[in-house]
Amino acid sequence: MALFKKKNVPEAAEAMSLDDVMKKFDRESNVRIWEGAPKWIVTAILATFAVFCLYVTLFATWLDEIRLTSFMAFITFIGFLVFPAQKGTQKVNHIPWYDIIFLVLGTGSFLYYCFNATRIVSNFKISTFEMIIGIIGILCLAELCRRSVGIPILVVAGVLLVYALIWGSTNPNFLARITETVRVLFYSKEGILSTPINVCSKYIVVFIIFGAFLERTGIADFFINISNAFVGRFSGGPAKVAVVASALEGMVSGSSVANTVGSGAVTIPLMKRTGYKPEFAAAAEASASTGGQIMPPIMGAAAFLMAETLGVSYSNIVVKAILPAVLYFAGVFITVHLEAKKMGLKGLTKEELPKLKPLLKQCYLLFPLLLLIYLVGTSTYSIAYAAAIAIVAAILVSLFNKNTRITPKRLLEALAAGGQGMITVAAACGVAGIVAGLITSTGLAYLLFNGIISIAGNVKIIALFLTMLCCIVLGMGVPTTANYCIMAATCAPILVELGIPPIAAHFFVFYFGIVADLTPPVALAAYAGAAIAQANPMKTAFTATKLAIGAFIVPYVFALNPAMLLIDTNVPEVILICITSFIGIFAVSASLEGYFLTNMKWYERIPSAAGGLLLIYPGLVTDLIGVALIAVPVILQVVKSKSNRLKAV
């Protein structure tokens, strides 16, 4: 789908096809081109990998080292089959000689460990030959990560590796330092084979396969159409459609860029046609799509990692994530509504809206997702079995529509898509494990903790602010899962030491790692939206940051008062928190937008923002003060609005 070109726009915002946008801002879209028989061979290999993952996850009782190394061997093999060395036009059915070398050496390194796992595990030391094997495996994984994920996470890992080899050990023998570092990173459960890749191979892979099957049922189009039917007719309807559709898609998607391009291809042109400025249209879609990463139940796969790291149930994480996520989307929704009112924008016409009755007949598409949520919420099934049952449900649901029916051919394609989708996540998790291992083995986490504490003292708000900056910087250009792994290893322990409940600390770092996709200078989701809207990328990023204000406020609230995460609270308190929080996020959004019933003056915006923040923070005293502050600008707005109507008459 080609977008129309527009004169006098920045080079980065020139019209692109959707494929070009994805290839520029989403590494996963830069894949090797296979056609004809080679394509089906590669498809079969990817599908075989998906089936292998399902079998191992559901039935195998292998030693962890065997299970994880065989998984990584498969990842390395298919990774170099799928991802070329660089972006750009690829030759069809061509894999260069150096990629074959990477493929053989990388796969061979992990297979060597796999076949010798029992012996290696029983020995604390490794031989020189095994050290070389480990170095080759680490380098091949790093190269695969560069191709499929990007440079930022490798820069972090590289800096830490240099530190570990030069300053992170007291051993004067440099070769001994290298050997010990390789042992920790490649042969122990503190590096590549640590929690991130373990969770990836046990849980995330099954959900990626589930997402591939669910996508083929046509649920993405259903989300957009049903959102259009319900909110498209209201003022600024297309922007509201973007928010609602992105929230729904975010429940099953793991990429903010993919969300932005997928739904933005429809919503951004509609927003522009309705009257929204290009930067605002792109920012609305980007902020909503990025919010999909914090929307349960999938949460960009970080929910599984968080559950494993904290030692709590997955359903516990999902339940606690609901209110903050809803508040985030409420903030974006309210802002686009107020922008539409301020500009006098209308909704879609009746002719442009999809018919609701036929859409309601397609509600069966939600069955696999609802079944998954139900099964995960019970203790009868494991997470992996629940996802496997949901995959079967998605296949059955597809049979009701001949256009989306999963035939044997589509079954193979869905499995292959799931297999391919695992490459990026696994590569990112593997390198994130390296980062976590280096931080732990060198004691850098302790140094970072001391650095923040020395600056902040015992003032939590300062420590939270410094941690936020670390999360945003370290999270730039890093995928959700790897992002959280790094944050959990570096920043979350600092907050826990300050007395913040562990689950609140982990949610805090997770949120601020996510908003790195919106904050300049590496705002990939915002830049992808700008490319579709033919808008200025930097203006789009700043506008998206304003729209996503909830993601900057809410984490501070639940870090300082975990009641928002339903910790140490009861039903009446939860109801009160919900009501006051929604009023508060409305007041803050109105203040930032400078509009409520009419344009707001500075003396109206300041008490509105202050009162809104106090209402978002749970507590009776803060709620009463917040209501009193908000009452002033509300009264002024009502009086001004009536006066304007009288003048108009």
Q: What is the pLDDT of residues 362-373, one digit of tens each?
A: 888 889 888 887
pLDDT at 14: 41
Specify which of 291-295, 389-393, 510-514 reaches the highest per-range mean pLDDT: 389-393
pLDDT at 20: 65
Average pLDDT over residues 587-605: 90
Nearest-angstrom CA–CA distance, 199 and 509 = 19
Segment 556-578, tens digit of pLDDT: 888 888 888 888 888 888 888 88
Q: Which residues contact 282 (CB under 8 A, 6 or more apart)?
A: 264, 268, 526, 529, 530, 532, 533, 535, 540, 543, 544
Does residue 398 lie in a domain region? no
pLDDT at 647: 74
Contact 535, 278 (CB under 8 A): yes
DSSP state of 124: S
Contact 64, 190 (CB under 8 A): no
Chain mean pLDDT for the chain: 84
- Asked if pLDDT for residue 10 goes beyond 50, the answer is no
Contact 526, 282 (CB under 8 A): yes
Structure-token pair, residue 617: 């923070």
- Asked if pLDDT for residue 521 goes beyond 50, the answer is yes
Specify which of 22-26, 65-69, 573-577 reaches the highest per-range mean pLDDT: 65-69
- Asked if pLDDT for residue 60 goes beyond 50, the answer is yes
**How much of the chain exceeds pLDDT 70, in percent?**
92
Residue 9 confidence class, pLDDT cut points 50, 70, 90: very low
Residue 13 confidence class, pLDDT cut points 50, 70, 90: very low
Residue, of 3 and 280, whose pLDDT is higher: 280
Q: Which residues contact 535 (CB under 8 A, 6 or more apart)?
A: 9, 13, 277, 278, 279, 281, 282, 529
Structure-token pair, residue 320: 């606690």
pLDDT at 483: 75
Residue 5 confidence class, pLDDT cut points 50, 70, 90: very low
Which candidate, 24, 212, 156, 205, places its Cα nearest to that of 478?
Answer: 156
pLDDT at 609: 92
Which candidate, 150, 147, 11, 13, places its Cα nearest to that of 476?
Answer: 150
**How much of the chain exceeds pLDDT 90, in percent?**
26
Picking from 76-85, 465-474, 578-587, which range would have the lowest pLDDT averaged per residue?
Answer: 465-474
- Asked if pLDDT for residue 534 goes beyond 90, the answer is no
Which candidate, 452, 457, 530, 444, places its Cα nearest to that of 494?
Answer: 452
Please give the tally of structural domains in the chain.
1
pLDDT at 6: 37
Picking from 77-86, 423-432, 459-468, which range would have the lowest pLDDT averaged per residue?
Answer: 459-468
Does residue 645 lie in a domain region? yes
pLDDT at 27: 60
Residue, of 477 and 79, whose pLDDT is higher: 79
Residue, of 250 and 318, whose pLDDT is higher: 318
User: 389 in the Ramachandran plot: left (φ > 0), alpha (ψ -120 to 50) or beta?
Assistant: alpha
Does residue 585 lie in a domain region? yes
Does residue 579 lie in a domain region? yes
Nearest-angstrom CA–CA distance, 274 and 238 = 8
Domain limits for position 597: 569-649
Does residue 617 lie in a domain region? yes
Does residue 584 lie in a domain region? yes
Structure-token pair, residue 24: 């520029």
Contact 543, 283 (CB under 8 A): yes
Average pLDDT over residues 236-251: 78
Does residue 341 lie in a domain region? no
Nearest-angstrom CA–CA distance, 344 and 147 = 46
- Asked if pLDDT for residue 410 goes beyond 60, the answer is yes
Average pLDDT over residues 25-44: 83
pLDDT at 58: 87
- Please tell me the pTM assigned to this model: 0.82
pLDDT at 23: 60
- Asked if pLDDT for residue 220 goes beyond 70, the answer is yes
Chain centroid offset of residue 535 CA: 24
Partner residues linked to 595 by β-bridges: 599
